[in-house]
Amino acid sequence: MTTELATETPAWWTRAVVYQIYPRSFADSNGDGIGDLGGIRAKLDHLAELGVDVIWLSPIYRSPQADNGYDISDYEDIDPLFGTLAEFDQLLAEVHERGMKLVMDLVVNHTSDEHPWFVESRSSRDNPKRDWYIWRDPVDAHEPNGWTSAFSGPAWSLDTTTGQYYLHLFAAKQPDLNWQNPEVRGAVFAMMNRWLDRGVDGFRMDVINFIAKTESELVGESVHPSMGAQIHDYLQEMHREVFAGRDTELITVGEMPGVTVEDAALFTGAERNELDMVFQFEHVGLDHSDAGKFDNLPFDLVALKTSLARWQTGLASSGWNSLYFGNHDQPRSVSRFGDDRRYRYESATLLATILHLHRGTPYIYQGDEIGMTNANFESIEQYKDIESLNHFAEVVGAGAEPATVLEQMAFRSRDNARTPVQWTPGPHAGFTTAEPWIHVNSNASTINVQTDRAAGDRSIFDFYRRLIGVRHELPVVALGEFALLEPEHPALYAFTRTLGGDRLLVLGNWSNERLRLPEGLADDPGTRLIGNYPEWHEAVLEPWEARVYRRSERAGAEPVA
Ligand code: NOJ
């Protein structure tokens, strides 16, 4: 037990589970093939029955959709694709009525190039909004430095009207805002305040560590921006201007590629007034080679355990972890880490058990609660994601074999997580009545919500529901101290969580082979709290079996699930 949490009432989000909705792929209510707010409203009971506490919506603001809404042209309106502000208010009220909270995506490292701020900024060198973005003169008739965009090509584009380059760490249609300008910060904070006044319960902040760029980096030779030192000042200023006085009911999570555990302790330390938690990337980068994310390395369980355990320890006395195995930028977790063919139920539920039993706030990505798999795309025409399409064009243009690149993309592309949620075995998986904007996975007739929820003791949804119930019920799940066991074992994921006299022993067999437990590991383990096999043998774990035991010195510690 950490001193910090022992002396203070733990924040509500230590017991909470967050569910991420990627609105374009969730549910379509108006028959245009694209998910929308009406679709979300129609499915709120699905989420309430699952037991989630918070819904995070990927961006629904007005946007040219160059990056599916992560390119915003109006922060204060809803894109007509998704609905209207009035419908948003209705959705928010219906979420609150069910006792859940709603978190918005906040994308303020960059805007769309169609945002009025950028339209003005690019219009002339002396426009009052010129300095709202990052403009630099050419150096030797080239880009100011060698930074590359996350979506291929240089991170600078030349604007011929004024003869200067502007910075875009993502697509050319996503120019980076200049956070050094206090007017920019003021405008962003005012916008955030208006959303909170409207009733939203917090923000997931897109690549928020990228907002700080130092001048020496901008004109220097570095290959990629590191995190400028002002990031802590910006986040503390944001806290003062936006969250102070109302933060206890809210939740803030900052997406931070490249963040170290030492940085994260600063970002999330309770006394520092920056963020509640961050999304770190270390564990989802372990299977990327130095050549980039599309060059897939074999999965290494020991490396994963080592990495996550470092984060557990690093944020034990100060700070807080967010826990995720998948989201709209990552492959489907059961395809990446599990066996999505022979042991789909077992491996999906094992992944859920391991994740949700770590210390931190777990995030469920839409469809993971029924074990949705990678997309099974075979041709480039099926892909829609700007990152994947640009990558394909770049490397095939440079001579790579298209079939090889498609194979890598079938494993790694972000579109794997963006196919429509499979609700029923019917046409278009019950997602829409029209042609969906992206192909439905060909396995939808067998993998869908309706079939899963009718699967009795093999329902993944029901397993998640019970796991969430355990977190809500037992303080040891939320707050217990974490200790990794058998760190070098290549297939066994084992750890304990301890709070006072309460101890959980979590065991998972991350493999297709039966596994005999190391001598002494599970002596006197207590009662089984939850597991994914109906019957079990104490000394053995079946393929992808996950089991959680509880031993409590307190009277009446009965299994709760
Ligand atoms: C991170 C988001 O999660 C991703 O989807 C997006 O493309 C980039 N940031 C740029 O906004």
Domains for the chain: give ranges and CATH numbers.
2-109+182-377+413-458 (3.20.20.80), 116-167 (3.90.400.10)
Q: What phi and psi values does residue 446 have, to the nearest 5 degrees?
A: -105, -30
What is the model's pTM?
0.97
Taking the C-alpha atoms of residue 52 and residue 48, their distance in angstroms, rounded to an integer, is 6
Measuring from each residue's beta carbon to the nearest atom of ligand 1, which residues come in under 6 Å?
67, 70, 107, 170, 206-207, 255, 328-329
The residues, any chain, with a CB within 8 Å of residue 189's CB and separated by 6 or more, are 237, 238, 241, 242
Nearest-CA neighbor of 278 among 225, 244, 325, 323?
Answer: 323
Measured by CA distance, the residue closest to atom 2 of ligand 1 is: 206
Q: In what order do the strands lie in the sheet with 18-21?
A: 277-279, 251-255, 202-205, 101-106, 54-57, 18-21, 361-365, 322-323
Splitting the chain (561 residues) into consecutive groups of 10 residues, what average pLDDT does each group show? Answer: 56 98 99 98 98 98 98 98 98 98 98 98 98 96 91 96 97 97 98 98 97 77 70 97 96 96 96 97 95 92 98 97 98 98 98 98 99 97 98 97 97 98 98 98 98 98 98 98 98 98 98 97 94 96 98 64 52
* Polymer length of the chain: 561
Cβ neighbours of residue 473 closer than 8 Å, sequence gap 6 or more:
560
Token representation of residue 69: 């809404």
Measured in Å, residue 209 CA sits from the centre of ligand 1 at 13
Name the phi and psi angles at 307, rounded to 5.
Answer: -65, -50
Of the residues 107, 173, 384, which should be mutated to test ligand 1's pocket, given the most ligand atoms within 8 Å of the CB? 107
Q: CB count, 10 Å around CB of 51? A: 17
Q: Of 54, 98, 71, whose CA–CA distance to 249 is shortest?
A: 54
What is the biggest distance separating any 2 CA atoms in the chain, rounded to whole angstroms? 76
Q: How far is the CA of 186 from the centre of ligand 1 (A)?
A: 23
296 alpha carbon – ligand 1 mean position (Å): 20
Cβ proximity of 102 and 57 under 8 Å: yes
Residue (of 66, 22, 31, 65) closest to 435 by Cα position: 31
Q: Are 297 and 275 in contact (CB under 8 A)?
A: no
The DSSP secondary-structure symbol of 441 reads: P
Residue with tokens 């902040």: 205
Name the E strands within 268-330: 277-279, 288-289, 292-296, 322-323
Alpha carbon of 206 to ligand 1 centroid (Å): 6
CB atoms near residue 543 (< 10 Å): 19
Best probe residue, ligand 1, of 25, 56, 58, 70 (max atoms within 8 Å of C-beta)? 70
| Integer Cα distance of 357 and 347 in angstroms | 15
H-helix or E-strand spanning residue 275? none
Best probe residue, ligand 1, of 63, 67, 211 (max atoms within 8 Å of C-beta): 67
Which residues does 488 contact at the CB level (< 8 Å), separation at least 6?
302
Closest CA to 522 of 549, 559, 502: 549
Give me the helices (H) in 257-300, please: 261-268
Query: Cβ distance 494 to 485 under 8 Å?
Result: yes
b/e for 512-523, b at 16 or more Cβ within 10 A? eeebebeeeebe
Q: What is the pLDDT of residue 228?
A: 80
Output the CA 57–ligand 1 centroid distance in Å: 13
Catalytic residue numbers read 206, 255
Residue with the smallest CA separation from ligand 1 atom 10 is 70
- Residue 296: both structure tokens together: 């897939």
